[in-house]
Amino acid sequence: MWNLLQIELFKISKRPRTYIAFAAIAAIVMIFQFAFKADGESYMNLMMQNIQDNFELDKSKAINGYFMCYIILNTLLIQVPILIALIAGDAISGEANMGTLRLLLTKPISRTQLLLVKFFASFIFTVVLLIWMAIIALFLSMAIFGVDDMLIFRAKGEESQILQITKDDILWRYFAAFGYAAIALTVIAALSILLSVFAENSIGPIVATVCIVIFFTIVSNLNMPIIDKNVKPYLFTSYLVGWKGFFYIGINDEGQPIKGSIENWGSIRKSLGILLAHIALFLGIAIAAFRKKDILS
Amino acid sequence: MNTILEIKHLSKKFKDLTAVDDLSFSVNSGDVYGFLGQNGAGKSTTIRMMLTLIEPTAGEINIFGMSLSKNRHEILSKIGAVIERPDLYKYLTAYENLKLFAKLSNINVTHKLLMDQLDMVGLADRSESKVKTYSQGMKQRLGIGIALVHNPDLIILDEPTNGLDPQGIADIRNLILKLSNEMGKTVIVSSHLLSEIELIANRMIIIHKGKKIVEGFVNELLDPSKTLVELETTDNIFATSVLKKSVYASMIVDVNEKIRLTINKHEISTLIQFMVESKIQIIEVKPRHSLEDYFLNLTKPE
């Protein structure tokens, strides 16, 4: 299995398409960093237009490396699934399209092994991509903008909330958030691999994954009681942004933030459980289908 | 002779299409076995079932005396195959492709082994070139190199000369003969060209629309003095049992919907007389001139 995984990672590392994701993330992050360095105050004014009359804020301090990373993650973690689908959606269908699938399967390896290895390789790609994001979105931002306390703007029901987290209480939250994001994005990888099993070319599963994510995300963002209750709990996209929970700091009775706390651990644990269940479900169906599939490519 | 491969009553249906229909044959150790049929006859489907790429609808495949469905891993580790086009990872070099597939075969992979293999198929000097720069013939040779890298006992080549120029075809033919004559390998080669099979195979089978037409030794089946005769009777089972007990037993090449014999032309009248005397009620006796004519007729566009 380890031998097979090494081979799979070698193949991924040799494909030019792999590096598109890294280049795309670097480009987007750097545009953000440049824009905020040049005119970050306009963004802060926009964010605080409703509350700046009764809230004093040193905007130059508010725009710091931690805040920048939060803004970037908020934007990128919706786009990154597309980059994951580029690799995972190609896992089986790409081999079928190239004609190498039939050669692979005439070797003494089981189909379950091959599919699991494809999944683990996609997982490793996801983790490496997130480490890359951490390096340029977090550490590079910290180097460019410095570090300070972080302000989080949160919409809670019909209210807007500003949470302040002290600078010595932030870094661990980012590590936890990236860990959560790795699980969330692995759901996308598992979905892409599942779709990949049924296709003979890469485009189909990649486009299908992106369409499903976009459609489910739109539904997840609809604010209608009937959808909130009956649909959203069953959509994996409802849990993709659960990483934000690590930044929702607990508040004491005096309304002061409690250092090192998280407002709703239970919700994060539940979201993680649902995401892991989705991974198991997608992977289980993929293995069952792949084992039965006639290889005609 | 050891039987390396035994196929019994193999069938494959794709919804309404029967691609392979009750096919039975066997391949012996050391054979270069020609698997002949026009395009769409069911050759590739049969080969894919022999390699576990396609699940049979019915029937049994035994290789090296073991059931394929129960001993897949062990059997596949002793088989090398090239199926239709030699599709490889175009963004990798020939050396990287070979190394990758050698590792999948669970063998001790050394630089020397890989270079020797590339040398055998005439690609040592292009080992570091990416496969996307290779011609069709070079890809085919690399595909065969990959099929042989783990020193398999059985080699299955599905249409290995497809798309090759005359020199490429000759190279592959010589390589197959070398594998058989010098290395003692058992080789199954599929083709839609009788002339190709005639040059390399010692035994062969012809299939048409998924069914076996004939099976036997190439030199006997293609003997120009012999004629293929198709018999249809009111009771083929009875007719077959009578013929199998007669002097005609060794001439029977296939018993299916029709009884087929290869026989000298001047013996046909004696055969008919024998059948009449044996109370076999004949519906039709159809001489097919020669197996070659018969095959050409099969492959002729309608």
Asked if B40 reaches chain A (Cβ–Cβ under 8 Å), the answer is no
Mean pLDDT of B92-111: 90
Contact: B51, A7; criterion CB under 8 Å: no
How many Å lie between the alpha carbon of B185 and the closest alpha carbon of chain A? 18
Asked if B9 reaches chain A (Cβ–Cβ under 8 Å), the answer is no
pLDDT at A81: 87
Nearest to B55 among A15, A16, A294 (CB): A294
Contact: A102, B55; criterion CB under 8 Å: no
CA distance B11 to B58: 5
Judge contact between B160 and B189, C-beta under 8 A: yes
Report whether pLDDT(A222) > 90.
no
Judge contact between B146 and B114, C-beta under 8 A: no
Computed over every residue of chain B, the mean pLDDT equals: 87
Q: Which domains does chain B have, with CATH numbers?
A: 3-208 (3.40.50.300), 225-299 (3.30.70)
Contact: B53, A99; criterion CB under 8 Å: no
Q: For residue A121, is it within any domain?
A: yes
Q: For residue A297, is it within any domain?
A: no
Of the spans A76-85, A105-114, A231-240, which averages the highest pLDDT? A105-114
How many Å lie between the alpha carbon of B204 and the closest alpha carbon of chain A? 23
How many Å lie between the alpha carbon of B245 and the closest alpha carbon of chain A? 43
Locate A127 and state its tokens: 């983790």
Nearest to B91 among A15, A108, A292 (CB): A15
Interface test with B, best of A104, A106, A292 (most B CBs within 10 A): A106
Asked if B95 reaches chain A (Cβ–Cβ under 8 Å), the answer is no
Tell me whether strands B259-264 and B252-255 are parallel, antiparallel or unpaired. antiparallel
Residue B32 is inside which H or E element, if any? Answer: strand B32-36
3-state secondary structure of A248: coil
What does the DSSP assignment read for A96-161?
A: HHHTHHHHHTTSS--HHHHHHHHHHHHHHHHHHHHHHHIIIIIIHHHHHH----EEEEEEETTEEE
Among candidates A59, A61, A37, which has minimal Cα distance to A48? Answer: A59
Nearest to B81 among A11, A98, A106 (CB): A106
The interface residues of chain B toward chain A in range 212-271, judged by CB-CB distance below 8 A, are: none
Q: How many residues does chain B have?
A: 302
Judge contact between B54 and B88, C-beta under 8 A: no
pLDDT at A157: 65
Contact: A103, B89; criterion CB under 8 Å: no
Asked casually if ipTM beats, i.e. exceeds, 0.85, the reply is no
Contact: B89, A11; criterion CB under 8 Å: yes
Asked if B130 reaches chain A (Cβ–Cβ under 8 Å), the answer is no
Q: For residue A237, is it within any domain?
A: yes
Contact: A103, B92; criterion CB under 8 Å: no
Instruction: Determine the structural domain holding residue A207 and report its residue range.
Output: 2-292
Q: For residue A150, is it within any domain?
A: yes
Q: For residue A288, is it within any domain?
A: yes
How many CB atoms neighbour CB A167 within 10 A?
Answer: 14
Model confidence pTM above 0.90: no
End-to-end CA distance of chain A: 25
Tell me whether strands B58-63 and B3-14 are parallel, antiparallel or unpaired. antiparallel
Report whether pLDDT(B54) > 90.
yes
Name the amino acid, one letter, at B228.
L
For residue A30, with 0-12 CB atoms within 10 Å meaning exposed, 13-18 middle and 19 or more buried, which class applies? middle
CA distance A133 to A25: 7
Q: How confident is the model over A52-100, as pLDDT tens digits?
A: 555 566 666 778 888 889 888 888 766 888 888 888 888 899 889 888 9
Q: For residue A163, is it within any domain?
A: yes
pLDDT at B174: 87
CA distance A77 to B165: 52
Outline where DSSP puts E strands in chain A.
150-156, 159-165
Asked if A253 reaches chain B (Cβ–Cβ under 8 Å), the answer is no
3-state secondary structure of B296: helix
Q: For residue A42, is it within any domain?
A: yes
Cβ contacts of A17 on chain B, cutoff 8 Å:
none
Helices (H), chain B: 43-50, 72-76, 94-104, 111-120, 136-148, 166-181, 194-200, 218-221, 236-244, 268-277, 291-299
CA torsion sign, B143 to B144 to B150 to B153?
positive
Report whether pLDDT(B143) > 80.
yes
Q: How confident is the model over A167-211, as pLDDT tens digits?
A: 888 899 999 999 999 999 999 999 999 999 998 888 899 999 989
Among candidates B50, B75, B72, which has minimal Cα distance to B205? Answer: B50
| Tally of structural domains, chain A | 1
Asked if A230 reaches chain B (Cβ–Cβ under 8 Å), the answer is no
